Chains A and B, each alone.
Chain A
Amino acid sequence: MTESILEVTDVELSFAGVKALGGVSFDIRGHELFAIIGPNGAGKTSIFNVLSGVYRPQVGEVRFAGESILGVAPHRIAERGLARTFQNIELFENLDVVDNLMLGRHHHLGYGWPSAVAWLGKARRAEVANRRRVEEIIDFLEIESYRHLPVGMLPYGVQKRIELGRALAMEPRLLLLDEPVAGMNGEETEDMARFILDIRDELQIPMILVEHDMGLVMDLADRVMAMDFGVPITIGSPHEVQNHPDVVRAYLGTVDDAATDVIEEVSSR
C-alpha cells in the first residue's frame, strides 16, 4: 500500500475540562474521499481545526506527508499542502473572486515586497502566471461570470463554490471540506457533488469531508468515520457504517426496527 498522506494517532483535545476530542485515530489512503459524520458537537470541525493548526491537541500525533504538524503555524501547514474550506463561509468579502483565488496562491507567488512595491518584471510575471492558474480553477468551477465581483455580493451557493476554488488554488495535497453543501438547494448540492467527484477522480486530490447530508456522504465517500462526543464509533465503508448499531444509537438514541428503517430510507435517498 502507498504511504498515507495523513496519519492521525490518538489525538485528544480539551478546552478547560471540556473534552472535544478523546482519542481520535485514522489515516487517509491514496486519493480517497474520507467522510466524517456525527451529530452536532461530535468534534468533526475540531478535527479540522487540529489538522489546519488552529488548535493544538494535548495528546496524540498528526503526521502530514510523513512529517509531524503539531505546533506548526497554520500558514506553514498551508504551505506544505493542506487546504480547507469552512463551515461558515470565510471568504474575504471585500475582494473580488479573482483576488480571493489569488490569495489561495499566496505562497506560490514567489516574489517579495521589494519587487511588489516597484512592480518589477518578476512580480508582474508571477502575477500573470498565477492568474492563469486561477483562471483554470474559475473554468473548472464554472464561475466565470462572477470573476470581477466582490464576493460579499454573491449568492450563498456561489460563495461556497468560490471557497472551494480558493482551497483548490493552493494546489493542495489534502483538501478538507467542512460541510460543503450545508444550506444549499438540491441543484446546488448536485453541482457541488459533481465538483467533489471531479476533484477526486480528475485532480486526484485526497479529501476529508465533514457533512450532515447523509445522502451525499453515502453516495460519494469511499470510507466513513462516525463520531460521537469526540470519540470515533467506527470506520468503514458507507454501507458498514450506516448499519452499525452504535451509529444508529448515536443519531437516534435507541435501536429498534423502526429506527433502522428510517436510517435506511434516509440514506437511500
Chain B
Amino acid sequence: MANPRALDKRRKSIRNIRKITRTMELIATARFKKAMERAASATDYTRRITKLVGDLTRAGLEVSHPLLEQRDATNRAVLLVLTANRGLCGGYNGNVLRLSVQRKKELDELTGGRTVIEVSGKRGISGLKFRGIETGESFTQFDDQPKFEQVEAIANRYLEDFILGRIDRLDVAYTRFVSASRQEAVVETLLPLGKLDVAAAAQPTRGATAAAQSESAQQDIYEFVPSAASILEEVVPASFKVKLFKCFLDAAVSEQISRMVAMKSATENASDMIKMLSRTYNRARQSQITGQIMEVIGGVEALKS
C-alpha cells in the first residue's frame, strides 16, 4: 500500500489545481459574455452594410471593383493565422495551426513558394516556429476584445498591398463561431472578395429585420450622393475591413469558449482524481490502523503468555 502521507500531499495539490481551473473557467465565462456582446454589435454594422449593398444592386448598378476581381495568376499570397496569446484552451490553437499548415502547402504550390504567413497570437508564433515554418509579420496586441482601429490598420496595409499588386490573395485561418456549442477552424479567402454577399441581406434573420426588408422592398429608390459608383468605391473596402474585423471577433469569442470548456473538464477531472485518491488514502490509513492494532494485540498476547 502506498504511503498515506504522500497520497494526502498529492490530494492537496490537486485540490489547489482544481481551485485554479475553476477560477479560470469563471473568468473565461465572464470574458466570453463580453466578447459575445461585442460580436453582436458588429453584426449590426455588417447587416447594415449588406443592406446598403443590396439597395445599390437593386438600383441596377453593375458591381465591379478591383477588390472583387479574381486575378489570373496568384504570384504572391498571404496567409493570416489568428491564434490566442495564451494556451490552456483545448484544441483551439492546434486546430487552427494544423489547418493553416495544410493551406500553406496548397498556396505554396499555387504561388511557387511565395506565400507569407502572418500570425496573431503568441501561441501561433511559437507553434509555427516549432514546426519550422518561417513567419512574416506577427501581432500579439490582440486580446479578447480586439479594437477596430487596430484591425483597420492591418486591413489598410493589406488593401494597399493588394491594389498595388504586391499580393494577389489573402487567406485567413481562424476559428469561426457557429454557436455557443460549436466552433470550427476554417480558412477563408478574403482577398479577392469575390462577390459581395447580397444573398445574406435578402434573408430575413429576425422579425424586426423582416419588417425592414419588406419596407425597403416597397420603396427601394434612393438618391445617390454623389453617385452610386462613388459609393460602391467606398463600400467594397469597408466591407472587407468589417469582414476581417469579424474574423478577429469570432476568434476571440471562440477562444474564450474553448478555454471555458477545457477548464470545465479539467475541473471535473480534478474532482474525479480527488475522489479516487481519497478512496486510496482512506484505505491505506485504515490498513495502517489495522496493522497497528494487530501489533498492540500481539504485544499484549506476548506479555500474557
Q: Do A and B come together as binding partners?
A: no
